[in-house]
Amino acid sequence: MRKKMAKIKIENTWIGDDFPCYTIAEAGANHDGKVEQALKLIDAGVESKTNSIKFQTYKAENLCTKSAPKYWDDGNENETQYDVFKKLDSFEKDDWRQIFEYARKKQVTCFSTPFDNESVELLYSLNVPAFKIASADITAIPLIKQIASKKLPIFISTGMASDEEIDDAINTIEDQGNNQIVIMHCITSYPTKPEDANLGIIHRLVKKYPDYVIGYSDHTIGTAIPVYSTFYGAKCIEKHFTYDNNLKTSPDHWLSLDTEGFKQLVNELKVAQISKGTEARVEFDSEREAVKFARRSIVSKIKIPKGIKITQDMLNIKRPGMGVPPKYFDKIIGSIALNDIEDDVPIMWEDVDFRP
C-alpha cells in the first residue's frame, strides 16, 4: 500500500510528492527600502518563471538591540545588525499593500517572512497566502505560535537547529491546529560552501516527518547544490534573488541569483524532475531499438536445411537481438530445423521445434 502523500497547496499550486519542485525567489530586503525596486523585483521574478517571490517584513527596533553584532562578513566592521536592518525597514502598511497588489496583478504568489508580532498582523491583514519562519527564529516560540494561529501555510527553515528545536517548533505549530507545514533544510552561512551544504539532512527529514513536505533554503553560490537537493527529497527550493548583483544597500544582493540565474535554476529543476523517473526498471521506449540491434541472438554459422538436427558447430551468438535469445543456446542444440535457415542470420522460434 502506498504511503500517504505529503503535499500542501499554496494558492493554486500544489507542492510535494508527484508535483514539480516549487521555487521561492527570496527577494528578502533586496528592495533596498524602495517600493519601485520591490515592484521591479516582482517583474524580474515573473520573468524568471519562479512560482513565488518572498520578502522580509520587520522593524529594526523589534528585531535586535542597537549593539547586536552582525553574524555575516560584509567587510564593514563598524556596522551592527541594527544599522543594516534600519536602512531596510522603512515600508509601512500602504507600501506593502501596493507590493502585494502588484504581485497579484502580475499573477505571481507573493508572501513574506515576519520578524515581529506587528509584522505578523500587518501581513495577515493584507491577505498573504503563506508565512515563512526564518532559521534564526526557530526558537522564537511565541512568534511561531502567533504565526501558526493564522492557520496559513508555513515554510519553516531549520538552519542552526537541533532535532529538539525543530520538534519544538513543529509541535508549536501543530498545537495551534495548523498542519500546513513545509520544513526547509538550511545552513545559516552566507554564502554556504558546497562542503557545508549537508544535503543528507534532507533525506533524514523526509524519513522523520513523512507527513510534511521537505524543502531546501539555499545559500550556496550558483544553481548546482539546490538542484542536487531534489535527489535527496527536496520538493521546494528557496534561493536569494535580485535583478542586479551590483546593488549594495541590502547585504544579500551579491550572493543572490539574478533574473537569468534564477531562470536557469528553474529550468535545471525541471530537468532534475524528469530525469529522476522511477525506482522500477521498466521497458523504456528510448531503449527499444537498442534491445533489437545492440543485443545478441543465436545465429546460423552455415546454411541449415529443413529437417536437419542442429549441432553446436552450426551456431554462433551475434548481433542483432531479433532472434532466439542466447540463454537458449544449449536448448537449440539437438532441435530440428523446421525451415531452411540461411547462412549468418538470426534463428527465429518458428525455425526450430523447441519452445521454452
Taking CA atoms, 309 is separated from 297, 330, 340, 349, 352, in Å, by 19, 13, 12, 15, 9
Taking CA atoms, 39 is separated from 28, 42, 46, 226, 267, in Å, by 13, 5, 11, 26, 24
Query: What pLDDT does residue 277 have?
Result: 81
Q: Is the dihedral of CA 40, 228, 268, 15 positive or negative?
A: negative
The least confident of 142-146, 183-187, 289-293 is 289-293
Average pLDDT over residues 143-155: 98
Query: What pLDDT does residue 1 have?
Result: 36
Residue 260: what residue type? E
Query: Is the pLDDT reported for residue 205 higher than 70?
Result: yes
**In sequence order, which ranges of the chain are alpha helices (DSSP H)?**
35-48, 60-63, 81-86, 93-105, 117-125, 141-148, 163-175, 200-208, 224-229, 259-276, 288-293, 329-332
Domains and CATH numbers, the chain: 8-276 (3.20.20.70), 285-351 (3.90.1210.10)
Query: What pLDDT does residue 356 have?
Result: 87
The least confident of 8-17, 271-280, 328-337 is 271-280
Residues of the chain above pLDDT 90, percent:
89
Query: Is the pLDDT reported for residue 313 higher than 60?
Result: yes
- Dump pLDDT digits (tens) for 64-101: 999 999 888 777 888 999 999 999 999 999 999 999 99
Residue 303 φ then ψ, to 5°: -70, 135
Region for 160 from its dihedrals, namely left if φ exceeds 0, alpha if ψ lies in -120 to 50, beta otherwise: left
Task: State whether residue 301 is helix, strand or coil.
Answer: coil
